[in-house]
Chain A
Amino acid sequence: MSLLEARGVSHYFGGLCAVDDFNLTLEPGELMGIIGPNGAGKTTIFNLLTGVYRAGKGSIRFGGTELIGKTPHQITAMRISRTFQNIRLFKDLSVLDNVRIAHYSQIAYRPLEAVFHVGRYRREERRIMNRSMELLAMLKIGHLAKETADNLPYGLQRRLEIARALAIGPKLLLLDEPAAGMNPNEIDQLMELISWIRRQFDLTILLIEHQMKLVMGICERLLVLDFGATLAEGSPHEIQNNPKVLEAYLGEEPVG
């Protein structure tokens, strides 16, 4: 059974059609990319998938469950997590707290247990603390656990966003322009990191990216959007030679 299935999803902002009849099927373990010019509706699709916007038409099924109508915290608790195009960390909180907050739905105690420090409180807090530290160490930012997130350099903030998204324990990870603002060297590292977390955490990944180097380098399948409509879908090689894509998005020159 496919992991994610979107059928005929459309979304309007007032009279403007942001996403039109969007279809997507993701098999478990796939790494798929969405590309398209600015304003093509890529981030809107992430917002529809995570429930930030409620799709006007269509259906989105994740592991057989309908997502439309659910709130973002319900959807993300079903193990879909994401990063943001412009970094949205909890800036004034510590690196550790950023990751601990993302464990919210996995902590089993109830309000009274928390307030009176009884029952599962201590055990759960200890477990989440260890898991968070472990996760930070795996992403090589363990030594920065006490640092305020805002003080981290740009590249490490991106890394922390990925750590925070992984804390949810995702089956599906949505990466919104993970390479934005990175130099070629950093992009190489990011590509290795993405392949590594994919294997390590057994993830299905859907990513939005403008950096062709990254998209062509690691994505197995691509979907091209333009003005909210799906222009083409296929392997990077097919996309590179698709005349419609070349005309509408990449221009006359082939991609290197």
Chain B
Amino acid sequence: MITMIQNIWKKTAGRQWLMPVLLVAGLGASFAVPEYALVNKYIQLVMMYVGINIILTVSLNLVNGYMGEFSLAHAGFMSIGAYTAAMLTMRVLPVMDHPWLFPLAVIAGGLSAGFFSLLVSVTSFRIRGDYLAIITLAFLMIVKSVIENIDYLGGPRGLPGIRKLTTLPWTYFWVVFSVWVIRNFVYSKYGRGVLAIREDEIASELMTVNTQRVKILTFAVSAFFAGVAGALFAHVLQFISPRVFDIIKTTDILIMVYLGGIASIGGSILGAVLFTVLLELLRPSNTAAILSFLPDVIFNPVNQHFIQHLGIWRMVIMPLLLVLLMLFRPHGIMGLKEFSWFIPRLDLETGNPAAPKDKLHEPA
């Protein structure tokens, strides 16, 4: 049975036309779901959070997984993107009459986050590992306290009254776009430079890799998409404050990265989906709804002793799962592996190389 499913999977996964078809189908679905109210508002909201978390996870994986650094600044970049985009849609762009201007605000959010990533990437020229973690932590705290002290941005009280501009189709578009761009980046000379830096920075310099340039680019791409995710996030939540983007937010993204697996795009998507959906399912009302098919004899005591107290236990169960995962799969679910869908054809083909053997001189 399992081998049959595996065979079918292998056959379908190998089809070239499948990916575009699925992408178009997804786009159609992202329009149809809110239009015809195929699922309720709550599930639509969760779907948007899943999308935003995918963008955050894949982009953080670029630095923490592929490059092997430990950056804690991701929530900081997210807040820069969120505030930039929110200021634009509230004070500058006439989005009231022209909602199609929203992508401009999102791009601006990404660009400003990408610009501030220079602060982190330039310090990372000479500093690695734990020391870089501390510097990125400092960056995160600086961003937070700077925003807290600017009244124009709402200070510590936050910024209410952001218009709800993030829709399911837009979220879908940005997810596909960010995954595509980051995948292309990873399978280019820059991406290989990133991997080389993780393995041995001096050796990669001596193999002509311009490590400073690669680091600047990597942090910029990573921060750009954190900013994009922040912009989308602000326009779902409709309220942002500095406290939304603190170390806890970074920790959430880190968990999704390490849960899904380092240096794997497929893993990051998996990690983001699993983490977001699991946390939602562990809400007492949702768990109760799922388990309500059980006969009352079982359901009632379970509900009374466990489900109603889930609010307290939710944040114990997730970390516990994470500890178990680290014990049994230290690289995460998909660590250092990749779905073949995300690998460019040229890289897949190297299994049977057609090197011109005949006309070569033979070495010793």
Bind each other: yes
Residues of A within 8 A of B (CB): 50, 52, 71-73, 76-77, 81-82, 84, 88-93, 96-97, 100-107, 109, 111, 114-117, 121-122, 125-126, 128-129, 133-134, 136-140, 142, 145-146, 164, 167-168, 189, 192-193, 195-197, 200
CB-based contact A114/B190 at 8 Å: yes
CA distance A86 to B195 in the complex (A): 20
Distance between A179 CB and nearest chain B CB, rounded to angstroms: 14
* B363 contacts across to A, CB distance below 8 A: 138-140, 192-193, 196-197, 200
CB-based contact A101/B346 at 8 Å: no
CA distance A96 to B350 in the complex (A): 9
CA distance A115 to B220 in the complex (A): 13
CB-based contact B350/A146 at 8 Å: yes
- CB-nearest residue of chain A to B207: A102
CB-based contact A90/B203 at 8 Å: yes
Task: Answer yes or no: B342 CB below 8 A from chain A CBs.
Answer: no
CB-based contact A192/B336 at 8 Å: no
CB-based contact B360/A168 at 8 Å: no
Known A-B contacts A137-B355, A142-B355; A101 and B207 likewise in contact (beta carbons under 8 Å): yes
CA distance A133 to B336 in the complex (A): 23
Known A-B contacts A76-B208, A101-B204, A104-B209; A90 and B195 likewise in contact (beta carbons under 8 Å): yes
CA distance A68 to B296 in the complex (A): 81
CB-based contact A168/B207 at 8 Å: yes
* B356 contacts across to A, CB distance below 8 A: 134, 137
* B312 contacts across to A, CB distance below 8 A: none
Q: Which of B206, B211, B357 contacts A50 (CB 8 A)?
A: B206
Known A-B contacts A129-B350, A134-B355, A197-B363; A52 and B206 likewise in contact (beta carbons under 8 Å): yes
Known A-B contacts A103-B189, A142-B355; A90 and B200 likewise in contact (beta carbons under 8 Å): yes
* A121 contacts across to B, CB distance below 8 A: 188
Known A-B contacts A101-B196, A102-B207, A125-B346; A111 and B217 likewise in contact (beta carbons under 8 Å): yes
Task: Answer yes or no: B199 CB below 8 A from chain A CBs.
Answer: yes
* B189 contacts across to A, CB distance below 8 A: 100-101, 103-104, 107, 109, 114, 128
CB-based contact B188/A115 at 8 Å: yes
* A105 contacts across to B, CB distance below 8 A: 208, 210
How many A-B pairs fall under 8 Å by CB?
133
Known A-B contacts A72-B206, A88-B203, A146-B350; A111 and B190 likewise in contact (beta carbons under 8 Å): yes
Distance between A48 CB and nearest chain B CB, rounded to angstroms: 13
Task: Answer yes or no: B361 CB below 8 A from chain A CBs.
Answer: yes
- CB-nearest residue of chain B to A91: B199
Beyond A125-B344, A138-B361, 4 additional contacts (C-beta under 8 Å) are: A76-B205, A114-B185, A115-B221, A193-B363
CB-based contact B195/A115 at 8 Å: no
CA distance A72 to B346 in the complex (A): 30
CB-based contact B211/A73 at 8 Å: yes
- CB-nearest residue of chain B to A116: B184
* B195 contacts across to A, CB distance below 8 A: 90, 93, 97, 101
Between A and B, 27 residue pairs with Cβ closer than 8 Å are A73-B211, A76-B206, A81-B207, A82-B206, A88-B203, A90-B196, A93-B195, A93-B196, A93-B199, A101-B193, A101-B195, A101-B207, A102-B208, A104-B210, A111-B190, A115-B181, A125-B188, A126-B346, A128-B189, A137-B355, A137-B356, A137-B357, A139-B363, A140-B363, A142-B357, A189-B364, A197-B363
- CB-nearest residue of chain A to B214: A104
